[in-house]
Structure 1
Amino acid sequence: MYLFNPPDEQQAIAPMAEQVALLKQVVRVAPTLVTIQQEPAGGEVAADLTAWLRVALKDRGISRSVVVSRKNDLPLLSIPVDQGWIVTQIPDLPPQGGLFNLLLMWHSLIALGSLAVALFFANRMVKPLVVLERAIESVGPDALLPELPMVGPAEVRVTAQALNSLSSRLKVAMDSRMRLVAAAGHDLRTPITRMRLRAEFVEDDDDRAMWLKDIDELDRIADSAILLVREESGKSPPEPLRLDMLVSELVEELRKLSYDVTLTRSTAGVVRANRTGLSRAFRNLIINAATYGKRARVAVESAPSEVIVVIADDGPGIPPDMIGQVFEPFFRADRARAKHFDGAGLGLTIANEIVQRAGGSITIENGPLRGLLQTVKLPAEHMEPSAPN
């Protein structure tokens, strides 16, 4: 009511002028009925109201130097008389600025309040999504979610509990799968051994050779499956390694085994990984290039944040529509050509698992002219490796 129907300043001038005239008569007729003080009311002077009231009094033939002021949030009228000042309270008037400023302040207050409430509820709604985003970012190389603390609002606790339950079930499923693969690989050993014994009694030399070759391939598949399980479940602690020295030693070792391998460039770089696992990964990659790509050229480059190993070969490469499947178990780009080479098709799968556990990545692509490029990137470790025993 005060906002939309306030007392009008112009309309309030006439009653105040009448009040001044009345008080003037009272002072003249019965001066004891009013209180007179020596000083006008203090406070902030309302200049506009004072000017309007003086004009109204002048129009009525009353020349008074009245003063309208506000003290302690009360509007006061000071009227000069011969003996001093008459001070009286007058009706409250709208604050300076008028209705538009009041509406602006009112709407601003409502908008700020609504914004605060909206931000509060939006924050509560977004918190579970933030927890989910952080959980996804913290997925380890073993593809498992770390256990999340169940603290905070109810929505966050429910989300953390659901993610922890999902991670637990996923870990049980992966462990069960690994045990199944390991058991299958181990159980294959007995029938493979029996088959090998029986094949030795085959009279035809060609048939016996073919049987033994197939049995050897089955044996390699079983060994590779067990090795893959060991790599995925391996808990060996990582250590700082000079990657350039590790690769150099592997190149020399494979050259002695009659593989066509050349170290074209080597820059010192330190990474943190399990030495045995990382050595197995690079051995698989280099042998893959030297076997299927005729020869392997290895380069080690060091950058401030990562160490890069590039393995190039001169082979036929991989069809573009199949290059996305290279890390799948038992992948063969050319089934017919694969018969001429030993191997179970798990070398790249095992290498990728080892490198990912070390925080790195493997990229395989066809070379610009021919052959295949295998690029391994590992995070650089800014500390010196421990001295070898």
Structure 2
Amino acid sequence: MRLVPDTIAGRTIAVLLLGLTALHLASIWAYQLGLDSEVGLTNAARTAERLISIKSTLSRLPAEKREETAHTLSGGALEVHYSTVPLAVAPAVMTGPASALQSEIEKSTKTHRDGGLIVGTPAQGTGTRTDPHLTLVSMRLPDGGWVNTNIAVLDGAHNSRGAIIVSTALMALGVLGIALGMARSVTQPIRKCAEEAKRVYVTSEPQPIPVDGPKEVRELAASFNEMQLRVKKLVDERTLMLAAISHDLKSPLARLRLRLEDVADEDVRRAIETDFDDMLQMIGSSLEFLRSDHTGEERQRLDLGAIVRTICDDFADQGLAVTLERQDKAIFTGRRLALKRAFANLIGNALKYGQSATVRVLAAPQNVTLEIEDQGPGIPEDELEKVLAPFYRIEASRSRDTGGTGLGLTIAQSVIESHGGTLQLKNRPEGGLLVRVVLAKVEGS
């Protein structure tokens, strides 16, 4: 499972959400800590002031009236008693609130730890149940008597966990909404750039992407648009140059063919004519290959199933074993002549080298698939990628005697890729070759 998001939007949201949540929780914790400390000190000071006032009042009364007066002074969180012995014992470990209370009492009475002040838990045998929220304070009077005070919930409970959770959740939702908007504004132009990169030369002309968004994204879009124009110019110049060379070669070759008539040796003349035929076929195939990438043919909506049926019918009329096993209605936007030439090359190869061809046209909501199966020897696994290269032929099955130039598959692949599709060759387990063409439908198909 991936812990770090894989997209810029995901990482931006994660950084904002986690970072701000951590800072929010840390700030709330620091604030709560300071608040609790301040409240504790305030409670301790006020309680100490009241205890000192009670002690001062009882110290001025006769001993027989002190208990009655102590009950009168009790109230709220304080319960006051008078006795001749202390009822509190000092704990082994003093809690924070108790320590603060003791410090405030000693500070106000200007006394020291001389045993006249005990802040802690009930003494054994007092009959008072020990309670973690109960603090006992015993203060010695000048004549030796003791004022014993039970203090309930000295520091008070300030539980704000619920408020913290709600505050953090609201902050997280707010950050998430803002982050989604920010990430979308940043990543949408980048995603558009990626989509257009896949469509380079799928359309007849480069499609500039909008130059908007942050500065970095604008620079990326502008650079991409400039790259598209440069690539198109480079490819156009290369295509036109090679097409011109291939075309110009026909004239001297035609003159040489005429001069062959002067060769007296019949065998030599026949051999040279065969070589000339091969050269002319190669030049013709080269021109066809170059035209496949530079035809200027307009795109139109067409039914690929109908085109494939026409090709299969043409081969069947020639007495070849071709079967159209399935023909879905496959509406696609593309260049009709280029696609027909590519499909004819693929089906023709299956018939030439595989003795028969079984063809299927499969339509899906997002793509169109053409499958061609033959009964031939197939292609060695290490040759499946190589046969797509220009002028590459497998000598064992595709010698010059068959008339192949090694450009049929290259032309088909060029046409298919110019339509945003893929061409895959795969050997069938039962024998023969499977050719699969997948054309992804784009908007408007």
TM range (shorter): 0.5 to 0.7
Shift, 1:323, TM fit = 0.2
- The answer as to 2:282 corresponding to 1:282 is no
Distance 1:132 1:9 in 2: 59
Question: How many pairs were matched up?
Answer: 315
Shift, 1:167, TM fit = 2.2
Q: What secondary structure is seen at the aligned counterpart in 2 of 1:240?
A: strand
Distance 1:209 1:142 in 2: 44
Shift, 1:152, TM fit = 1.5
Match of 2:323 among 239, 244, 263: 263
Q: Counterpart amino acid of 1:137? A: E
Distance 1:211 1:133 in 2: 57
Match of 1:142 among 201, 205, 219: 201
Distance 1:15 1:382 in 2: 82
Distance 2:345 2:280 in 1: 18
Structure 1 runs (4+) greater than 6 angstroms displaced: 16-20, 57-60, 123-126, 380-383
Distance 1:380 1:166 in 2: 25
Distance 2:309 2:326 in 1: 8
Shift, 1:132, TM fit = 4.3
Q: What secondary structure is seen at the aligned counterpart in 2 of 1:244?
A: helix
Task: Tell me the residue number matched to 2:147.
Answer: none
RMSD after superposition: 4.4
- The answer as to 2:414 corresponding to 1:353 is yes
Deviations 1:275-310 (A, max 9, x none): 222221121112111222233333344445544332
Q: Counterpart amino acid of 1:267? A: Q
Deviations 1:318-371 (A, max 9, x none): 110010122221121226842211132211111122223334332211122322
What pairs with 1:294-333 in structure 2 (closer than 5 Å)?
294-303=355-364, 305-333=366-394
Distance 1:246 1:302 in 2: 14
337 and 277 in structure 1: CA distance in 2 versus 1, 3 angstrom threshold: closer
Distance 2:231 2:442 in 1: 31
141 and 369 in structure 1: CA distance in 2 versus 1, 3 angstrom threshold: farther
Task: Tell me the residue number matched to 1:228.
Answer: 289
**CA contact 2:367–2:438 (8 Å) conserved in 1:** yes
Task: Tell me the residue number matched to 2:432.
Answer: 371
**CA contact 1:297–1:312 (8 Å) conserved in 2:** yes
Shift, 1:311, TM fit = 2.0
Task: Tell me the residue number matched to 2:9.
Answer: none
195 and 323 in structure 1: CA distance in 2 versus 1, 3 angstrom threshold: same
Distance 1:197 1:55 in 2: 125
Q: What secondary structure is seen at the aligned counterpart in 2 of 1:340?
A: helix
Distance 2:387 2:74 in 1: 93
What pairs with 1:36-115 in structure 2 (closer than 5 Å)?
54=76, 97-98=157-158
Task: Tell me the residue number matched to 1:209.
Answer: 270
97 and 57 in structure 1: CA distance in 2 versus 1, 3 angstrom threshold: closer
Shift, 1:9, TM fit = 0.5
Task: Tell me the residue number matched to 1:78.
Answer: none
Shift, 1:16, TM fit = 6.3
Q: Counterpart amino acid of 1:200? A: E
135 and 376 in structure 1: CA distance in 2 versus 1, 3 angstrom threshold: same
Q: Counterpart amino acid of 1:310? A: E
Task: Tell me the residue number matched to 1:69.
Answer: none
TM-score by length of 1: 0.66
TM-score by length of 2: 0.59
Task: Tell me the residue number matched to 1:9.
Answer: 43
Q: Counterpart amino acid of 1:275? A: R
Distance 1:261 1:206 in 2: 37
**CA contact 2:330–2:361 (8 Å) conserved in 1:** no
Distance 2:330 2:443 in 1: 7
Deviations 1:224-252 (A, max 9, x none): 22222222123323333333332222223
**CA contact 2:202–2:417 (8 Å) conserved in 1:** no
133 and 302 in structure 1: CA distance in 2 versus 1, 3 angstrom threshold: closer
Distance 1:150 1:239 in 2: 29
Distance 1:380 1:169 in 2: 27
**CA contact 1:142–1:232 (8 Å) conserved in 2:** no
Q: Percent identity?
A: 28
351 and 14 in structure 1: CA distance in 2 versus 1, 3 angstrom threshold: same
Task: Tell me the residue number matched to 1:171.
Answer: 232
Q: Counterpart amino acid of 1:261? A: A
**CA contact 2:393–2:405 (8 Å) conserved in 1:** no
225 and 154 in structure 1: CA distance in 2 versus 1, 3 angstrom threshold: same
Shift, 1:265, TM fit = 1.5
Shift, 1:55, TM fit = 5.3
Distance 1:360 1:291 in 2: 24
Higher mean Cα deviation, 296-305 or 158-167?
296-305
Deviations 1:14-46 (A, max 9, x none): 4468899xxxxxxxxxxxxxxxxxxxxxxxxxx
- The answer as to 2:256 corresponding to 1:195 is yes
